[in-house]
A = this chain, B = another copy of it.
């Protein structure tokens, strides 16, 4: 009988370490001659639909090594969600699976992707096709169920911590400074914004606002005013997902700004108009999820580990699972890999525990103990001759 081939795809917003999981998948799969082809599906599930697969065995080992510091999605990503079963797309997926003899499928992504993972697993089961599907988590939002934390989070948190410190150090230069609003990713979950709490007392934001707390504009303004009057400047960490009161009593937008403007621009206008204090907005933007320079070494290692564990799970006959991390101890930091039921992960969100938010000035010790081991170690970055971080240059040779 022909050996079953393995296909892997990436989906959703890239992180600094999603390609480290790809590295782990490749490193492990190459060790197993019982696997037929080792394929990458380009642009997530779209590659399966369109039969856009690349042969990962054709890649240079040196470039594969660089995947561990390559941001973005090396195989391309997609925002596509699977349509309901019965849609012709499923026929196209079956055609590719059969044509390429794919029996192992790895799906690397966040919440939506785990839904895709679960639905593909269920579909193949219903069709009595011998295709096993395993999910590999990734998200800077850290909002996946069952796993202790998600690959991608720690690197993004380390970026946030270092960049908030830059804002604090820069902001302290003038006797009368500005209020710096640092806008941090996380539409619904405040894990990433909260990471700035781990900074030392004179390096940390004065105020931290997460989407998990109800937001009062008047409290916000009086908090900001109080800090500014004491220090002459203030640094405020804001989650992009803050639930702002965006409509006034008349039902119209009370700000009148465009969709391009995030919460920080809105709040900056409020500070300027109500408090008359100068404000600077600093959106951390894409680099939060794309900075390999501040990536956490442990995050890279865990992303690799989960990629390898996913291949092992397939070879053990598993399907419909997500490889996940269980924490055994904070100090010394110790975790183990386990298989979570991907149906329990799909489409849920793990929010930042409200009891960990002590005030806008302080998160709990539990949170700091949780975060500390994830961010503490720097990774070693290779630069090119222009001083720019190197990235993997893949051939992406299609089948």
How many copies of this chain does one complex carry? 2
Contact: A279 with B265, CB < 8 Å?
no
In the complex the two chains form, what is the Cα distance from A4 to B91 in whole Å?
87
**Docked-complex contact B387 and A158, CB < 8 angstroms:** yes
* A377 proximal to B (CB < 8 A): yes
Name the residue in A46, A161, A166 with the highest tally of chain B Cβ atoms < 10 Å from its Cβ.
Answer: A166
A386: chain B residues at CB < 8 Å are: 161, 198-200, 372, 375-376
Within 8 A of B (CB), among A252-266: 257-258, 260-261, 265
Complexed CA–CA distance, A40 and B389 (Å): 37
CB of A294 within 8 A of CB of B296, answer no
Interface string of A191-215 (1 = CB under 8 A from B): 0000000111001000000000000
Contact B76 A286 (CB under 8 A): no
On A, residues with C-beta under 8 Å from B are 14, 43, 46, 70-73, 76-79, 158, 161-163, 165-167, 169-175, 180, 198-200, 203, 257-258, 260-261, 265, 268-269, 272, 279-283, 285-287, 289-294, 296, 372, 375-378, 381, 383-389, 391
User: Given contacts A166-B290, A167-B290, A180-B286, could you give 19 more A-B pairs where the C-beta distance is less than 8 Å?
Assistant: A43-B175, A76-B172, A158-B388, A161-B387, A161-B388, A162-B293, A162-B387, A162-B388, A165-B389, A167-B287, A170-B286, A170-B290, A199-B386, A200-B388, A260-B268, A261-B265, A280-B285, A372-B386, A376-B385
